[in-house]
Amino acid sequence: MTRPALLALLGLLVHGGDARASLFCVVPETADGFVALRAAPSAQGRLILRMRAGDEVQIVEGGRGGWSKVRHWPGDARLANGYTGFTEGHAARRFLRDCG
């Protein structure tokens, strides 16, 4: 089983099966070297941080217009520190296609 699939399965088990609030995935590699986490669901939204390949996100809401509200943990911080220490914002769904 791949790491993203294992994380998604673990998230479903921990959160009682609510896929919208428990689906985890790993940020993919991109040509720019990052995926933007923005304050608003648009390319013009304020940049909160640059998510790097291997960071983990949890989809909180499916969103509108090609954007999803997510929680972000750098690297494996969620697994190491539990569900604390995340940053919440919006990410373009095209970069989250392996999240379900």
List, edge to edge, every strand of the sheet that includes 67-73.
23-26, 56-61, 67-73, 87-92, 35-38, 47-51
The CB density around residue 13, as the number of other CB atoms within 10 Å, is 10
State percent of the chain over pLDDT 70: 75
Q: Do the Cβ atoms of 70 and 59 come closer than 8 Å?
A: yes
Tell whether pTM > 0.85.
no
| Cα of 31 vs its chain's centroid, Å | 18
- What type of residue is 80? A
Which carries the bigger pLDDT value, residue 79 or residue 54? 54
Tell me the average pLDDT across 15-22: 43
The mean predicted confidence, pLDDT, of the chain is 80
Contacts by 71-80, CB closer than 8 A, 24 or more apart: 72/37, 78/24
In this structure, the strands spanning 56-61 and 23-26 are antiparallel
